[in-house]
Structure 1
């Protein structure tokens, strides 16, 4: 795969990384989330323009890399498939096979195509998103993952049906807690990822937000979800202003 040269950090385009779930691909996830792009761009730019420390940004670009591994590890060598994965194994017991290579693949992608301001992931993609946030904050090799890039920490992450990895190897990813603001999105009818798994990821974050929707294992598309995103982005890009207001209230 050829990577483009990194663009200047002064670019007027805000970049968001989109990570698909198991058995999907970047192109598949793009098709499944295209409906979100105009609204997310609008509400994200609106929030960014209120942050006097950033920008100016005039547009948002969404990047969709595909997983590093085939979803079926037993497929015939050379067999063409668009079903990709970030790793293989029991998330509650195993060290996930191939995950280190997948995370390195994502880190090289953001270093080459960045800088990115945020990341949105679905299911296993959300789990990888949290790992990337943690590595960019801690800026060292931990949990079996190598860190050797210069990309800054992300402003935010959106985790849809995300979860933690419970093998002790991965404990340093979640302790100390992840500081990047993360919106955790949970489907109340999701039978693939249990609510308790997503809540464990929430509890591993210092500044989590939580949104429930009536639905199964998919990306929600309601106006209510878009309103939740808008509130989340307002929180992310007005934290300094909000802290000043809270301080004034306390002094009054």
Structure 2
């Protein structure tokens, strides 16, 4: 092996991913953004993992926007990872709520049963005793189910927020786009946006026709009718 070949081989082997610092033997190194030199080389899997962890689609150095596709994790995997998260977006107070659920659920059913027996017994003695006990039973059951609904809703929103911030990221384009390709991509995005705007305009035009037919707008040959608040404002 000559000296030039050894230097070339050494320089090639020294290049590595800027995240895991491994070379391109196990996975091909790509240049997906505007970063140059050793900072521009990265593994696609490392980049996808980094974008998923930091919940972004841009390079932290050159601010280049990557073309990515985000997908939610499978339900068992997302729930298990959320359960093991120890942070702001992890489960908050689940242990305490579980203990309250175990303690309050039997008490609620036992109280409901005893109140039902009491209502049956007191209804023979008088109207107000049985009615008051029935109202108390309904209030206890309503309070329990209200607490149960609020607790489940809180933890569900926490889990959904975690899922939104920890989606699986798939890199669609593994090399940076040229200027022509970027212009073409922007042109396609503008055409899609114009199509959506025209569709919304047509929909609003249809609603406007309906409002005109229902006489919700002013006719050109009639005087506008103001409400009481507008009349007092003019005065």
Shorter-normalised TM range: under 0.3
Specify which structure has the bigger relative contact order, considering alpha-carbon pairs within 8 angstroms and separated by 6 or more residues: 2
TM-score (norm 1): 0.21
Bigger fraction of residues in helix? 2
| Structure index of larger Rg | 2
Bigger fraction of residues in strand? 1
